[in-house]
């Protein structure tokens, strides 16, 4: 913020003395420092003269529309990014997610209706500065058959693109999040075409929480758009690294690396998979899993232990991490219900060695196998721990009447709050300099 200081002219004279910007010096006594406020006139001022300071301009809070609001991940990111802003409306049709959203943001207007059922006039009444949105991802995933724009779940997003040129006033900033794969979709092509035709500059990138030190892999597509004068030119190539971040430096750390190169291969893992996990665990720029675990001493963790049938059937495909690890896989909405590809499980026992447990496991009887596997103390991450890994603050809460499986489900549909907060700082930084 530029702060100008002007000396008052003596009576009867019309002399104005320019004064240097205080931001030119980092002196803690800026107003008294000759570098900060140099005297530019050799004439002494009368004793009755006073130094006048123009009032600081505080930017008006941005008016934010949160589409596909879910459990409020975008809202939490907005609160933590340090930019004055107010969510004037949030829109979602998921009743469980809306229940959780209202529990955490009781004063925010929450529209529990389909987006395409909201007329343009209702949006225009909001005078929107910012749109935050995370459209349904299923149309762009392999499991969702990649039906793209012909998928009915994309209908609301296409409606948003149709509304965008008609909004008055037009939003100044847009942030969109979706799964990896969206960048290759027809929906993405329509999005960037609409933005380009309506005076927006934009950046696209694929970002994972590991880029901001969180030990969880959740690679997602992000688009940041600003209506004219973006600090960098619009990029047609999708960035593969976090904007402005340094490359991760891999340093040796033996905390979670117990697999020598000549070790036997336990479980159904290839040497490449083991090497990748070792590299992830040596990345000193990423925090340990233990930093995100629930510290509530009254919590009954036995309820999260994997049941015997799950251990016997899926032991060889589990992604197992320990508190000292610096990695975990993406948690999906099927976590706690399905096993394969839904997220990591935690080895809670510090005494058992995973390699010793899995060596020769297939030659044992079921009873012997189960007894050995249970020594690992394998459990699911609690919903609170998953929320921690997804960047939700400690103030985030689930209403008591939401079942555990529903908590996993809505978390799996959400986003990483810390990543979005950092991206909002980049996108909205110009607003704070007005």
Point out the residues that are catalytic.
137
d(CA 336, CA 338): 6
- Angle between helices 186-197 and 155-163 in degrees, nearest 10: 10
Question: Are 396 and 387 within 8 A, CB to CB?
Answer: yes
Question: Are 220 and 208 within 8 A, CB to CB?
Answer: yes
Rounded to an integer, what is the distance from CA 175 to the centroid of its chain?
Answer: 11
d(CA 310, CA 306): 6
3-class state of residue 331 by DSSP: coil
d(CA 123, CA 180): 29
d(CA 383, CA 414): 13
Question: Are 213 and 287 within 8 A, CB to CB?
Answer: yes
Strands 173-179 and 51-53: unpaired
d(CA 408, CA 180): 21
With CA atoms as reference, report the closest residue to 185 among 208, 224, 218, 154: 154
User: Phi then psi for 137, rounded to 5 degrees?
Assistant: -95, -15
d(CA 211, CA 349): 29
- Angle between helices 73-80 and 95-104 in degrees, nearest 10: 30
d(CA 36, CA 26): 8
Instruction: Write out the two tokens for 294.
Output: 């629930």
Question: Are 219 and 293 within 8 A, CB to CB?
Answer: no
Question: Are 62 and 74 within 8 A, CB to CB?
Answer: no
- Name the DSSP letter for residue 239: B
d(CA 254, CA 3): 52
């Amino acid at each position: 913020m530029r702060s100008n200081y002007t000396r008052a002219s003596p009576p009867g004279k019309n002399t104005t003395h320019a004064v240097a910007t205080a931001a030119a010096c980092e002196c803690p006594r800026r107003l008294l420092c000759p570098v900060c406020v140099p005297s530019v006139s050799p004439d002494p001022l009368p004793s009755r003269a006073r130094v006048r300071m123009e009032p600081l301009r505080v930017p008006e809070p941005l008016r934010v529309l949160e589409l596909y609001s879910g459990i409020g991940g975008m809202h939490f990111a907005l609160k933590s990014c340090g930019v004055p802003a107010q969510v004037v409306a949030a829109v979602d049709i998921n009743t469980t997610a809306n229940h959780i959203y209202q529990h955490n943001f009781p004063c925010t207007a929450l529209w529990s209706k389909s987006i395409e059922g909201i007329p343009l006039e209702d949006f225009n009444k909001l005078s929107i500065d910012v749109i935050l949105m995370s459209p349904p991802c299923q149309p762009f995933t392999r499991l969702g058959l990649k039906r793209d724009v012909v998928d009915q779940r994309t209908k609301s997003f296409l409606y948003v693109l149709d509304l965008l040129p008609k909004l008055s006033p037009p939003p100044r900033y847009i942030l969109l999040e979706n799964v990896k794969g969206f960048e290759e979709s027809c929906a993405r092509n329509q999005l960037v075409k609409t933005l380009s035709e309506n005076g927006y500059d934009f950046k696209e990138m694929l970002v994972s929480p590991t880029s901001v030190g969180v030990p969880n892999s959740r690679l997602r597509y992000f688009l940041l758009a600003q209506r004219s004068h973006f600090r960098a030119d619009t990029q047609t190539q999708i960035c593969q690294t976090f904007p402005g971040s340094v490359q991760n430096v891999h340093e040796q750390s033996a905390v979670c690396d117990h697999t020598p190169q000549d070790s036997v291969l336990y479980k159904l893992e290839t040497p490449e998979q083991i090497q990748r996990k070792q590299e992830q665990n040596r990345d000193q720029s990423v925090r340990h899993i233990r930093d995100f675990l629930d510290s509530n001493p009254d919590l009954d963790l036995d309820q999260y232990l994997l049941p015997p049938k799950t251990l016997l059937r899926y032991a060889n495909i589990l992604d197992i991490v320990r508190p000292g690890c610096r990695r975990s896989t993406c948690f999906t909405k099927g976590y706690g219900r399905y096993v394969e590809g839904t997220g990591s499980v935690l080895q809670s026992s510090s005494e058992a060695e995973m390699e010793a447990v899995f060596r020769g496991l297939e030659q044992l009887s079921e009873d012997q196998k189960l007894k050995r596997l249970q020594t690992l103390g394998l459990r699911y991450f609690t919903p609170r721990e998953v929320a921690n890994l997804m960047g939700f603050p400690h103030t985030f809460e689930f209403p008591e009447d939401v079942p555990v499986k529903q908590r996993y489900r809505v978390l799996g549909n959400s986003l990483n709050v810390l990543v979005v907060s950092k991206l909002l700082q980049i996108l909205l930084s110009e607003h704070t300099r007005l």
